[in-house]
Amino acid sequence: AIAAAAAAFPAWASRPAVERSNILGKFHDLMLAGIEPLARAIVSENGKPIREARAEVQYAAEFVRWSAEEARRVYGETIPAATAGKRHLVLKQPVGVVGAITPWNFPAAMITRKVAPALAAGCPVVIKPAEQTPLTALDLALLAEKAGVPAGVLNVVTGTPEAVGGEILASPLVRKLTFTGSTEVGKLLMRGAAATVKKISLELGGQAPFIVFADADLARAVDGCVTNKFRNAGQTCICANRIYVQRPVYARFLADLARRVEALVVGPGIDEATQVGPIIDAAGLAKIDAHVQDARKHGARVLCGGRPLRRRWYAPTVLADVPPGCLILREETFGPVAPVVPFDSEDEVVRLANDTPYGLAAYFYTSDASRLFRVMEALQYGIVGANDPSPGVPQAPFGGMKESGIGREGGKYGLEEYVEVKHVSVMV
């Protein structure tokens, strides 16, 4: 697959940008035309509710459409020279073969968020999808081929991370590595990519704080918390993992949140009524329960849930009065558990929110315009939702600070990850 991508690179890179754009546009249209079979493939592989799976296909297709439009706008520039008779040109050229390693939790969107800008820039791609979700990747590759993506330009290789990832890291033909997954694996990939000095972009783990100030619209904050925390059964890298509520509204927020969470419908993803689907595997389920039991042992109160259900499901859970030092406040839980902690002051909660090696996403709710600017600037996170539980959109950059990653996906910044900048100095 790597050799095929390398062989296809010169022709794809030299193809006029408008042609690449048109092919991606057809890819987008085919995805939307096939939304139902794609959504059902997602449900069959990772179990998320069918309504969320349909929304994911639409979201994934939007990355393709955005990149189709951006393909026409990979602009260079001319720099004024300090010497008569000289001209300085800046060119942007495709980096080369891209190795993309993608996760199971968004098996369509995490592929198109990487593949679409790479193809738009003129780079062929070798995708290594998660072992749990290979069929979605293969379905997307077939649609891309149908849209006119030439042979060798988009390749899918299924298999173990060690075997496939090892080849991607070792090959000097692969000039760019892009990965979404855990921080631990991201660090291993960074070390491996260093051997051939590959360009890398990494979207890694998070420990997202969700802050509710006393002046917030409480109903809106509760609604945003449920939307953010329980999407995909909490198995997202940007869902709230620590919920901080200012003390004057703490009791009311807890009561409203517990009532909403207790009413969530748990069931098979294929059922239209399901709001919370299964956990991806037994290891994930065990980690969630370990976090809950650790919090209980340290004095947290369980307001609802707090237990595994049949097979791979976990009851949507709200924990109150979670003390510092608990696992759930330090590690990414990746499950439908909302740990809630009271706080007193703005300075205190900003310190608590930033007290982590992670920096992917953060959220806060306030009606104070001055506070909105102070807090959004103080939070050490790559993505901040201010009164917004769903900040991720194709036209904006997505990525983390600190140990949550390197580089950005989405928006005009996403395509920049797949080009090299070349300076040409000309004597005339």
Q: Which helix (H) or strand (E) holds 230?
A: helix 218-230
Instruction: Read off the tokens for 194.
Output: 């260093």
User: Is 5's pLDDT higher than 90?
Assistant: yes
Q: Are 111 and 102 in contact (CB under 8 A)?
A: yes
Residue 80 to residues 88, 302, 425, 426, Cα–Cα distance (Å): 7, 65, 11, 12
Q: Are 391 and 360 in contact (CB under 8 A)?
A: no
Catalytic residue among 52, 203, 332, 346: 203
Q: Is 305 helix (H, G, I), strand (E, B) or coil?
A: coil
DSSP structure string for 318-387: EEESPPTT-HHHHS---SSEEEEEEE--HHHHHHHHH-SSEESEEEEE-S-HHHHHHHHHHS--SEEEES
Q: Tell me, what's the pLDDT at 152?
A: 98
**Mean pLDDT across 219-234:** 98
Q: Is 403 a catalytic residue?
A: no
Catalytic residue among 123, 225, 237, 326: 237
Q: Tell me, what's the pLDDT at 92?
A: 98
Domain ranges for the chain: 1-204+404-427, 208-386
**Mean pLDDT across 271-286:** 97
Q: Tell me, what's the pLDDT at 422?
A: 98
Q: Could you read off the pLDDT of 104-114 as tens digits, one per residue?
A: 999 999 999 99
CATH number given to 1-204+404-427: 3.40.605.10
Q: Could you read off the pLDDT of 367-400 as tens digits, one per residue?
A: 999 999 999 999 999 999 999 999 999 999 999 9
Q: Are 210 and 198 in contact (CB under 8 A)?
A: no
CATH number given to 208-386: 3.40.309.10
The widest CA-to-CA distance across the chain, in whole angstroms, is 77
Strand partners, 88: 79, 425
Confidence tier at 310 by pLDDT (50, 70, 90): confident
Ramachandran region, residue 148 (left: φ > 0; alpha: ψ -120 to 50; beta: rest):
left
Residue whose C-alpha is closest to residue 248's, from 222, 208, 216, 209: 216
Q: Output the CA angle 165-167-170, nearest 5 degrees.
A: 110
Instruction: Read off the tokens for 110.
Output: 């995490």
**Mean pLDDT across 176-204:** 98
Confidence tier at 213 by pLDDT (50, 70, 90): very high
Q: Tell me, what's the pLDDT at 13?
A: 98
Instruction: Read off the tokens for 154.
Output: 């988009």
**Mean pLDDT across 213-227:** 99
Q: Tell me, what's the pLDDT at 311?
A: 85
Q: Are 153 and 119 in contact (CB under 8 A)?
A: yes
**Mean pLDDT across 57-66:** 98
Share of the chain residues as helix, strand and coil, in percent rounded to the nearest 5: 45, 20, 35
Residue 301: Cβ-neighbour burial (10 angstroms; 0-12, 13-18, 19+): middle
Residue 82: Cβ-neighbour burial (10 angstroms; 0-12, 13-18, 19+): exposed
d(CA 254, CA 233): 19
Q: Is 225 a catalytic residue?
A: no
Backbone angles phi, psi at 146, to 5 degrees: -65, -30
Q: Are 267 and 273 in contact (CB under 8 A)?
A: yes
Name the percent of the chain lying above pLDDT 90.
100
Q: Tell me, what's the pLDDT at 134?
A: 98
Confidence tier at 407 by pLDDT (50, 70, 90): very high
Distance of alpha carbon 181 from the chain centroid: 9
Residue whose C-alpha is closest to residue 170's, from 202, 195, 201, 199: 195
d(CA 379, CA 366): 14
Show Cβ contacts of residue 373 under 8 Å, excluding neighbours closer than 6 positions.
Answer: none
Q: What is the mean pLDDT of the chain?
A: 98
Residue whose C-alpha is closest to residue 46's, from 233, 310, 303, 275: 233
**Mean pLDDT across 354-363:** 98
Q: Could you read off the pLDDT of 13-60 as tens digits, one per residue?
A: 999 999 999 999 999 999 999 999 999 999 999 999 999 999 999 999
**Mean pLDDT across 278-286:** 97
